[in-house]
Every structure is written in structure tokens, then in C-alpha cells.
Chains A and B, each alone.
Chain A
Amino acid sequence: MNVTVETLALIVVFAPVIGAIIAGLFGRVLPAKVSMTVTTGLLMVAAASAITIFIGYWDKSLVLPDEPIRIFKWIDVAGFTSTWSIRLDAISVVMMAVVTSVSSMVHLYSWGYMSDDPFKPRFFAYLSLFTFAMLSLVTAADFMQLFFGWEGVGLASYLLIGFYFLKRSANDAQIKAFVVNRVGDFGFVLGIMSVYFVFGTIEFKDVFHAIPHHIHDTMGWGKLQLPAMEVIALLLFIGAMGKSAQFLLHTWLPDAMEGPTPVSALIHAATMVTAGVVLVTLCSPIFQVAPFASGVVTLIGAITAIFAATIGIAQNDIKRVIAYSTCSQLGYMFFAAGIGVYQAAMFHLFTHAFFKAMLFLGAGSVIHGLHHEQDMRKMGGVWKPMKITYAIMLIGTLAITGVGIPGTNFGFAGFFSKDAIIESAFAASSEGLPFATFAFWMGILAAFLTSFYSWRLAFMTFTGTFRGDAHGGHHDDDAHAHAVHAAHVEGHHDAHQEDGVAPAHESPLVMLVPLFILAFGAIFAGFIFNDAFVGEGAHDFWGHAIYVSPENHILHARHNVPEWVKFMPLTVTLLGLLGAMIVYLWNKGLGEKIAKATGPIHAFLYNKWYFDELYDAVFVKGARALGDFFWKVGDQKLIDGIINGIASDTNIISKKSVKVQSGYVYHYAFIMLIALVAFGALVLLKKG
């Protein structure tokens, strides 16, 4: 049986890269359909293999090998080795299933969504490349390969955000994403170096085994000695913050929505941004012995959850709302990991992948149907022409807001995972873990806001009357920058209905099928896997992949929380729904009135707490001023000055000294004799 697992794992990891190579290198010569078929087909194969492994592991019909599959020795220099491997454990199996299934759905969906794009092969190549990088990230057996995958997904993300490369804003966004991620990656790299410094190896197994011997290690400079485990955990978490867009390093994620919507669904919702959560979960042995760092994770996670949710309620761009929602949900995952319930964090990651990918693809369907209109203020009444999309979005909203009946096994996916996190936070707070109480209340508040903004999105988009320009979308702001698209739009202006009904069309089947499949996950993933991920079966399911210290009983303690805690999330969710209904369903224009009445507060939220402005003033302008200083003073004045000065001095010396060459023989002879005397004197003086 093991042979099969290994073969399947190889297929999972390497099928996407084959697709990426074919579409990437030969995309220009092959017909676009070939590239698309190859990449999508290979992804389907990979997904089928990954799901086979996952289901097999879940129902225990399949045993995972203890040792990672070693593929080749990548780096081997003087005591530092890194082997390219496929690590198979619960985390990687779950992640492989999530990544390949969402990715294959996104590939399929893109057939419809990108149908008018002239650069389809490039798009599909990037998508497959991303999938490969993500898979090598989650299957890494050491920090080096993890870092490779980490940077690989960063690269793919960069390429895909700027896919519409003619668009200035897309280029800015891709650079922003790359630069902000560098900040996190710097921490991450330092973390990896610290791991090597302390443990002398970067192989996960060896590092985690050796932790008991290094708990009390310190590292630092001279007198400044810090506990090594805390330092490593914090540095790794800084990396996680960058990739997962946590508070302070979150600014790139909303801008990343400049990329095509399928990309947002795959990379900026379901998979890449969760890499930070995977990292923290994978390093649970380190974080479990680093209480301070875990406290920081809890705090940052809780802040992100509430902070992003507050911004989400004030945004008008449909994709940005979902982006902030993603940010907020990642906050949930992080504070779950911070208080030590990594299982719940992974569970939420798992369910979130389905419903968030679905919400994005649903939003993409709306955007596609409305000819690339993204502003919700210009939507409304879309349900009529796009009934299927409407149904899908409702399912997604129910899933993300976590609707379900507490105490029973009835509920959408988000219900199980989010409630597990909130209950755990309460249990952790009664155990006195740092920031757990804060995290609990922020989680509750964020749940309310989540419900509010999700329903707001649904109501603004689908109900009421169409508020947009009847002549299709605004191609100049958020539309495809690729000029070809204009032709497509003109061609589709066939059915202009009566006033107040959106001039939209339902998406083609190729876009709807992925939505159905994801909807299935959004409805049932929580119900089916609740037990294995966070319930009674959790211990067996996660095995050695997640380490929790013997004192950590939060996952069990959460079942014993008071009844009011269990009902709290549902209550605030319903309150959020009610609030959204009052403002956006029953009272037209109330939203604008509230926005006006709360002027500065609304502006504060609408402008994303002014983080971009702050960063621009401090870092961008600061870096520019520093650069100007080094350029104008350091380089031009100092360095160029010295060099040009030396050059001109050399010239002056040369001009003066050439005069020695007079042409008179007696001058020459004189110099010769003087030199002879001087040399003679020199050797005599040296003798003393």
C-alpha cells in the first residue's frame, strides 16, 4: 500500500509543475486550448490523487510513511544539508487536498472567466506554477524547502497580481505585495538561521526531537541573551504575518485584488495566505515551548480579526470586502494557533478554503456577468438574471457567518470551525492564557461584523434595483486592461432588460460547476470532518503532526464551556444579519445616511485605518528620503566627488610631472646619477 501512497504523492506534487512547464515554455507555440487542457487536466489528476490520499488517511484505510519521501539532495555543503522531499503527515495531507482541489476548480473556472484574455497560456502556467510551489511548501521536510515553496508562491502571487500588466495599479499592487512580503520573509529567514544556529539542522524531525534539550538555550549578543525558542518562534511568526497578511503587514492583501478574480480565490483566499497558519501549526513543538511568542500570535491574530472586519463593513468594492474578510478569518486561525488549538486553526483553514474560494468565484461570476463591474454601489438586483450565482453566494454567506444549531451536528462548514475556535478561546481564557480573553471577545465581535458585512455584500449586490450604468461596466477602472476585452463587451450587449434590472448574464457552465463542487464543501466539510479535526478523533487524526504540550487540554475543555458561550456566536451572527437587513434590505439609503452621520469614523474605516497613508509617510517617503540622501550626498557628492577628484588630481599631477621630461641629455644624466647616489645611500643607511 505504501508504494501507492508514495506514487500518488509524487503525482500530486509534480503533475502541476509539468503543466506549468508545458504551458509556460510552449504556450506561445501551442494553441491556447492545449495549454489550458494540459494544465487543468494535470491538476485534476493531482487533485484526484491528493483526495485519494486524504480520504484514505481519514478513514484509516491508508498508512502514511513515517519517513519523508526523499527525492534528491538539494544542498549539501559543510554540515548543512537539505534534501528535496515529500513529507506525508496529517498537515501535508490536508493541505495537499485543499490546495489541489481548490486549484483544480480554479483552473476549470478560469476557462470561463478568462475566455477573452489573449494571454491564457501564461495565466494557466502561472496558476500551475503556483500550485507546485504551494505543494512543495506544504510537503517540505525541512525549512529550506519550505522557504523555497514560500518564495515560490510569493513569486507566483507577484506574477498573477500583475497579470494585467498594462494596468498601472496592478503593477503597483504586485510590487507592494512583493515588498511587504520581503519584510516578513526577512524575519522568516532570520528564523531559519536561528533554527540552524541553535539546532545545527533544519530538518523538521530532527529539530522537533531536539527541542527538549534546547528549551533553556539562549541566544543574543554579549549581555543581551534572549530565550532561543521565543526568538525563533517570533521570527518565524513575523514570516507568517507577512504571508498571511496579519495586522501591520496586511496592507498588500486588499491591493492584491488587482489580479484576476480566480487568482484571488486560489492564492489570496484559499491557499497561499494560509501558509502562515500552516507554518505556525507545523512548528507547534516550538510554539508550545514559547509562551510569550504564542501570546503575541494570539494578540496579533485577535487584532487582525477585529481590525479587518471593521474595515470590511465600509468597503464598496466587492472583492475588497471579501479580501478583508479573508484577512479577518486568518486572524481567527492565528489566535486559535496562539492559544494552542492548532487543530481548530487547521480546521478553520480547511473549511474557509472552500467557502472563501466559493465566495470569490461567486463574486467573480457577478463581476463577469456585469462586464467587470466591481463596485457594489453600482450593482443591485443581480439575483434575477443570475439566480444560480445568487444561491451560491447565499450558501457561501451562510457558511462564512457560521450558521448552525449549537449542540447539534447541523450547520454549515464555518459553523463548526469558527465555533470551535471561539469556544477554545473561552476555555483558554479560563485557563489564563495570555490574551485569550481578549481574543474571545474580539472573536465574538468579529463574528458579528462578519455577519454584517457578508450580508451587506449579499444584499447590496443581489437585491433591490440595479443602480449601475445600464451600458455595462466601467472598463477603465477595474476592468481587464487587455484591450481585447472591449470587443467582447460590445458583442454581448444583446439583452438590455427593463429599467432596474441588471444587464447581467448568468455565467457559463464551466464557471458554475466549480461553484457547485465548492458549495458542497462549504456545506458539508464541517459536518463530515468535525470529529476528525477537532472532535474525539483529533488525537488519532493529527498524530505526530501537531504537538501539544501535556498541560494543554483546551481542545477538550471547550466542550465544557457554559451554554451561553456556545450560543454566543450564533446570536451575534443573527444580530449581524438583522442589522444588515435593517440597513440594506428594508431601509433604502440608510447605509449612506449612517456613513454621513458618522463622518470621521466612516472615513477612518473606509480608508482602512489610514495604514496605507501611514506607511507611505513613514516607510515609502522615508526610504525615498534616505535613498535621495545616499544618492545625492553619498553617491554624487561623496563617492563621485572622491573619484572625480582623484581623476582630476591625477591629471594635474600628470601635467606637472611631465615637465621633468625636458629633452636635455644632461637633465637625464643628472637624474640618473642622483638616483644612483640615492640608492647607494639607501643600502648604506640600511646597513647602519
Chain B
Amino acid sequence: MNLASVTHDLAFMTPELVIAVGAMLLVLMGAFVSKSAYRAITYLSVVVLLVAGFLGVQHAPDNAQVLFNGSYVVDAFGGFAKLIIALTAACAILLSADYLAERNLEKPEYPVLALLAVLGMYVMVSAHDLLAVYMGVELQSLALYVLAAYARDDRKSSEAGLKYFVLGALSSGILLYGVSLIYGFTGTINFGKLMTIAKDTSNVGLIFGMVFVLSGIAFKMSVAPFHMWTPDVYEGAPTPSTAFFATAPKMAAAILLGRFLFEAFGEVVSQWRDVVSIMAVLSMFVGAIFALQQTNMKRLLAYSSILNMGYAMVAIAAGPVYGPSALLLFTAIYAITSVGMFGVLLSMRDAKGKEITKISGYSGLSKQRPLLSLALTIMFFSITGIPPLLGFFGKFQIFIAAVDGGVMPLALILVIASVISAFYYLRVLKVVWFDEPSVEIVGGLATTKVTVTGVTLMIALLTPFIGLIYTASMAAGHFFK
């Protein structure tokens, strides 16, 4: 591999380079400029992400570019995901600014770590061999562990970070073990080569390794039964970190799993469909049923994200023909809606500026903050999947994919899970609109407000343009056909 080809390949990685270089510059800025640079670094990291997102779209190649001897791929499928990841991560960083400042946690590390996590996600999304997968996953995870434990004086935050780290390390081990099994039995870690080898279904070691890798990624996606960490970490971590966990990494992991199964094992769907289907059903069950008992908004949203990752698994189970577009569209809409929901959560502060996480604290919100209530309502309706809001289209697309892809039972379970989950979403709305106010609620801080408004408008106003998003995701998903 000569220098020329390296430069050629690097040219396709401009967005990744922007993030990497941006993160390093901001570290330096944090180290040498005083603490007061926190805000500047935060906003600059947002700018970096927006630039990366923009460049990703701008420089999207017409055809898939396989780089670095087949270990990295830049294509429309990943490009679409990267744009959404950058956008939602930027929102999450914006959400953190005032929150952390109010709690004396305004350290430059936070946005920098978030940037590095996003870099990891970019690698995950574009990974085309198992080492790139591992590298992306670890880069993302290590940054996220720190973000979970970021409020280190807070017992719960530390606990969350530790739990996340221990279990994450276990899952990384499983993933890595799977990688080594695959390499041991096939002699390659490249997706493209695996595709031809996997056609020989008698290779037990390869399939076994595939299950391990699948399980490892499923942990990152927080798909049942590898979801156990999710509610605890979501609850314990500082809320902006949770907002971050629930959005971009979920999308990145889902896209990674999709690419891994569709590309490396796309010819042998029957080998993994059962496992994916079981995970989908379990996730939908856990996400729908467990959430009914929750009294804490953060835990509720944790189950909500488990549920939605269950839906994403249905899209994957639909196979490489029907799955990709649905997976892209759905996870994108999910990530956008999720970051909005956390924005609302962060706007819930009582008179002392303490955040309100109990659902009962939301009672009578509509009488105190009608606009915020409206925003929450739009987002909850969207994620429940009520037309004509965005969420409906994502879910609908998965439903269609499941029916076309021949996994009708999953489509039925998806509907049932949606019905059950509608109950807990609507219960919150009932508390918001029909109960009497209990505590005085002060609105969110500036950056939160901006984010919530932006996301709400996006959900509400993008609805007429669903066709655009739809076309984009369809085009991106066609890559696998």
C-alpha cells in the first residue's frame, strides 16, 4: 500500500478526519485555554459535527468506495446514517451545555469525548472488516463509559459508569471472541470475502463466531437479552449523557449490525434470522411490558429505546432486500425523536433548578408550560407512530419490510407491542394534560430550548417532506440489492 493510495483513500474520509482533527484541536484548546473556554469548545464541537455532516453529504461518492484494502467502505447507506448521527450528536452536545454548567461540570472533556464517540460511530457505520468494527465499537464505547460516569461525585453516575464499563467490557470480549472464531475458521475478517465463504453453510465455527459478533453488537444496541444495563445506566448517567446514549450510538450500532449481517451474511439469511427474530421479539416484549411499571422518565425512555431497537431488529430480520431502507428510515426518525424527548426531559426543572425525572412531576405541565407540553405531545405521538407524524412512517416502513420480507409474525408482534407501548406514552400525556399541577416547573435553559424547539419543528414540519427522507433512505438502502 503506497502513499498515493492512502491519500486517495483518505480523501473519502474527510468527515472522519474533520472530527478527529477537530477533537484533537479542541483537546489542546481545553488544555491551554482556561476553564472559561468550555462554552466555546462546546459550540465549536457542534460546528465540527455540522461540518462533518455537511461534508459527508457533499462528498458522498456515487458508488460505494471500498478503502484501505477492503476494511472501510464509504457509501450512501453509511452516508445517510452519518448525517443523522452528526445531527443528533450535535443536539445532544447542545443539550449538555447549560446542564453541566449549572452543576459545575463544565469541563472541555465532555464535548471532546462526545466527538471521539461520534468518530467511533462513523467508523462503525463504515466498517467493512471485523477489526474496523472492533475499533469503532471500542472508540465509541470507551468515550461513552466516561460520559456515563461524568458526574463523578454523584454516586449514581459513578455506578452507572462502572456498570456500563464492566458489562461493556464483557460484550467487547464476546465480540472479539467472535471475531477470532471467524478468523480462525475462515482466515479472513473482510465482509466481502466472508460473503463468499459463508455460502458454505457447513462451517460451524463461522456461524458460531457470527452469533458471538451479533451478540456483542446487540449489547451496544441494547437489544434484549443484552439490554439489562440500559435502564440502570440511563437512570444513573447525567441526563445529557443519557440523551446522547439513546440516540446516535443506537443508530450506529443498528447500522453496523445491519451491514454486518446484510453484507457478510446476506446470502445466508436463514442462518441468522432466527436469532435476530428472537432478539426482536424479546426486545419488543421487554420494551413494552417492563416500561409499564416505570415511574421515572429516564427509565421509561430506556425501555422505549429497547422497544425501538426491537423494531429495528425486525427490519434486520426482514433481510437484505427489504430491510436496509426500513432500518435507515426508522433509526433516523427514532434518533431525531429521541433527542427531542430528552430535550423535553432536560427542560423539566423545578424552582430550585433541580431536574424533574419522576413522571408524577409532569402532572399539569400543560397548564404551566403549554408549548413544552405541545412539543412533548408531538414527540410522543410521533414515537407511538400516529400518522401523520414522522414516527408513523418509520414504523410503517418496517411493517411493510417485515411483510414483504416474509417475517409476518414479527409484524404482528410489532403491532401488539405498539399497542402496549401506546399505553405508557399516552399515560404520560394524560398526566401532562389532565392532571392538576403539583410542583412549579421552570422551563429549560437556552440551549435546551433551542434544541427542543428545533427538533419539534423538525418532526412537525418535516412531516410534509417525509417523501424526501423516504426517497433518500430508499436510495441509500438500495445499495444492497
Contacts and interface: CB of A to CB of B under 8 A. Distances in A.
A662 to B, nearest CB: 9
Interface stretch (A115-123, A536-544, A675-683): A675-683
Interface residues of A, number: 25
A669 B219 CA distance: 11
A651 interface: yes
Given A658-B293, A665-B166, A676 B228 contact: no
Interface in A328-350: none
Interface string B197-225: 00001101001100110110001000001
B207 A683 contact: yes
Interface string B281-297: 00000100110110000
B167 A669 contact: yes
A654 interface: yes
A2 interface: no
Nearest to A669: B170
Interface in A646-688: 650-651, 653-655, 657-658, 661, 663, 665, 667-669, 671-672, 674-676, 679-680, 682-684, 686-687
B45 interface: no
A665 B420 contact: no
B228 A668 contact: yes
A679 B292 contact: no
B184 to A, nearest CB: 15
Contacts of B225: 671-672, 674-675
B355 interface: no
Contacts of A669: 166-167, 170
Contacts of B162: 665
A668 B229 CA distance: 7
**Interface SS of chain A:** helix
Contact of A672 (B171, B207, B214, B231): B171
Given A650-B289, A650-B292, A650-B420, A668 B211 contact: no
Contact of B170 (A657, A672, A674, A686): A672
B435 to A, nearest CB: 20
B9 interface: no
A683 B211 contact: yes
A82 to B, nearest CB: 34
Contact of B219 (A672, A679, A684): A672
B275 A682 contact: yes
Contact of A680 (B166, B211, B289, B420): B211
A654 B290 contact: yes
B167 A668 contact: yes
A680 B290 contact: no
B207 A687 contact: yes
Residue from A672, A684, A686 with most neighbouring chain B CB atoms (10 Å): A672
A666 to B, nearest CB: 9
A660 B440 CA distance: 35
A667 B163 CA distance: 11
Contact of B293 (A655, A665, A668, A684): A655
A665 B208 contact: no
A663 B226 contact: no
Nearest to A661: B231
Contacts of A675: 215, 225-226
Contact of B163 (A650, A665, A684): A665
A686 B207 CA distance: 11
Interface residues of B, number: 34
Given A655-B293, A675-B225, A663 B420 contact: no
A676 B271 CA distance: 15
A645 to B, nearest CB: 14
A650 to B, nearest CB: 6
B271 A683 contact: yes
Nearest to A672: B226
A657 B163 contact: no
B394 to A, nearest CB: 25
B289 A683 contact: no
A676 B174 contact: yes
B171 A657 contact: no
Given A672-B219, A679-B275, A654 B211 contact: no
B23 to A, nearest CB: 30
Residue from A650, A667, A675, A686 with most neighbouring chain B CB atoms (10 Å): A675
B170 A663 contact: no
B274 A682 contact: yes
Contacts of A674: 225
B232 interface: yes
Contacts of A663: 232
Interface string A631-651: 000000000000000000011
Residue from B170, B208, B228 with most neighbouring chain A CB atoms (10 Å): B228
Contacts of A679: 211, 214-215, 275, 278
A671 B271 CA distance: 23
Given A650-B289, A654-B289, A661-B228, A672 B275 contact: no
Contacts of A661: 228, 231-232, 290
Nearest to B207: A683
Nearest to B208: A680
Nearest to A663: B232
A105 to B, nearest CB: 55
A644 to B, nearest CB: 13
B208 A684 contact: yes
B264 to A, nearest CB: 15
Contacts of B208: 680, 683-684
Contacts of A667: 228
Contact of A676 (B202, B215, B232): B215
A665 B275 CA distance: 24
Contacts of B170: 669, 672
Contact of A686 (B167, B274, B278, B420): B274
A687 B204 contact: yes
Contacts of A686: 274
A665 B228 CA distance: 9
A657 B231 contact: no
Interface in A27-43: none
Contacts of B274: 682-683, 686
Contacts of B271: 683
A658 B290 contact: yes
A664 to B, nearest CB: 9
Contacts of A683: 207-208, 211, 271-272, 274-275
Contacts of B163: 665, 668
A661 B212 CA distance: 23
A654 B228 contact: no
A674 B212 CA distance: 12
B224 to A, nearest CB: 8
Nearest to B214: A679
Nearest to A662: B228
A671 B225 CA distance: 7
A293 B272 CA distance: 68
Contacts of B174: 672, 676
Contacts of A650: 289, 292, 420
Nearest to B159: A663
Nearest to A658: B293
Given A669-B166, A686-B274, A651 B292 contact: yes
Interface in B255-285: 271-272, 274-275, 278
Nearest to B219: A672
Contact of B289 (A653, A672, A676): A653
Contacts of B207: 683, 687
Contact of B167 (A658, A672, A682, A687): A672
A657 B289 contact: yes
Contacts of B292: 650-651, 654
Interface string A127-138: 000000000000
7 contacts: A661-B228, A669-B166, A672-B167, A672-B174, A680-B212, A684-B204, A686-B274
Given A668-B229, A676-B212, A687-B207, 9 more contacts: A655-B293, A661-B290, A667-B228, A672-B171, A675-B226, A679-B211, A680-B211, A682-B275, A683-B208
What 6 pairs across the A-B complex have the smallest Cβ distances? A668-B228, A675-B225, A654-B292, A654-B289, A658-B293, A679-B275
